[in-house]
Amino acid sequence: MEIKLTSTSLFKGLNEDEIDILLSKITFQRKQFLKNTLIVSQGENCDRLMLLIEGSVKGEMMNQAGKSLKIEDMDAPRVLASAFIFGKRTVFPVNITALTDVKFLIIPKPELLRLLRLNDVLLQNFLGMVSSRAQFLSEKLRFHSFKVLRAKVANYLIDESQQQSSFKLKHSQNELAELFGVARPSIGRAFLQLQDDKIIDIRYKQVTIIDKQRLLEACNE
């Protein structure tokens, strides 16, 4: 189902009539892509804002050896690569592939500049998105700086728990393996270690934190 633009982070605080008037003053496109389509290639020129308004996509980073590292799944509504449109090296940092049939609103860079000049709310929204994205990437870098997989898993569980002692995992072990860039059995062993040490209890996707202090300590291993 296509998302209304009023519910997107870019157009937050504007009503439909205001959005229609603003869009009537610029040139933009609406595009559709089928499931499993490679929408953007890593290193491709980031010369347009891509607003996902229906469906889901995934971002994957490839190294020179061809090994992929899953960065994240993204659901509509979502602006892609907002932090990379402006700057010295304006390229998409990841491959973006459709997980479902998807729809986009695409605004070329010159038209985006024109749009941002037309409305202060839009400008503030865009700057907020760039700031949030920079914070996310900083956290991602911190996460991957952990050398031990067990520390990565512990950090992931702390983040996912949101201060709750029992919660359901959002990702399967296969998805976590992609996220961490390791083989699936390695993920299973890391969870088993934490369970054997009586730090957590895990049954299917339901996790119970038994000893939060030791789980926090495991984050620093």
- What would the pLDDT profile of 49-95 be if each residue is shown by its tens digit? 999 999 999 998 876 666 777 778 889 999 998 888 987 888 998 89
Q: Does 150 score more than 80 pLDDT?
A: yes
This prediction's pTM = 0.66
**Phi then psi dihedrals of residue 169, to 5 deg:** -65, 140
Q: H/E/C letters for each residue in 98-132?
A: ECCCEEEEEEEHHHHHHHHHHCHHHHHHHHHHHHH
| Digit-coded pLDDT (tens) for 15-42 | 999 999 999 999 999 999 999 999 999 9
Structural domains of the chain sorted by starting position, each given as residue range(s) with its CATH number in brackets: 5-140 (2.60.120.10), 149-218 (1.10.10.10)
Is the bond preceding 77 in cis, omega lying within 30 degrees of 0?
yes
